[in-house]
Structure 1
């Protein structure tokens, strides 16, 4: 029974450290973890255990030498359950610009009657981009509308045939530049 309690306490410690280090949860403190999980340890013993587990988590290994069997098993279980979440957290923290969350598009026909200008009739591509709210997004394209929700920015673009061809040409140029640096396999 003591092994089960020790394993639960260690799992709680690992999850608490992850909350603080990877998920920026400021409510989790070293004192809270000690009081809740290891009240029987002295402050020095707990600090040593906390620092050891924090270092192991930051090394992102499932197992490591110098650990007891229970500690190695708890660390392995932690990484099996948290690997994806930690990766996503690290990726989101490393982005400086908003990320593209979604894209939808359609082709419409604008007639001379609906636009008021016979020269503007014909097919147009309408595109809506959903961007993450990590920062301010500035778009240097004419004919866009921007709207916001709680955690996304939506940008609506309208392209005529010439603009679509320009975008496709630019994308082709980008792909060629990438291929010069990293050839496709």
Structure 2
């Protein structure tokens, strides 16, 4: 794995653990010579993970729409900053560059980015691992929702299980390296309903 996309908040969150664990993940990426692909900001959890990768001598690629760069939140010390025209273009570029995707705590934008690549994985549009770094049990409600979707037959178990979840950055990264994509999504025909 050469490049990993991280989706996360542009805020620090309520607990110092969010920033601390983001820094730990960034340090692990630098140690393992895995480049960070992320939204390009200098603030919040986004800035913390980028700073940690850079501090460890790692490579950081930011992808940011022009309208956000104009708000002066772009990180000034990135290895590379790619400016795009829209949020859609940002997500496409990050997906193109990355060999896998991890969501850290964040808001609706973080979830939207994660769900897009997770959906693409279910559809077989890519075979890259998708995971959650479950800091302070942040994603527990989402994990419960995944189980509910499966119980109610809106998600296949093999797709629920394809999301790699761990509270520890090192373990999560080890599981990413060992990841094997399941078969693509199967569809129900009218005759099967």
Classify the TM-score, shorter chain. Answer: under 0.3
Q: Which has the higher contact order (CA 8 A, sep 6+)?
A: 2
Task: Give the TM-score taking structure 2 as reference length.
Answer: 0.23
More helix by share: 1
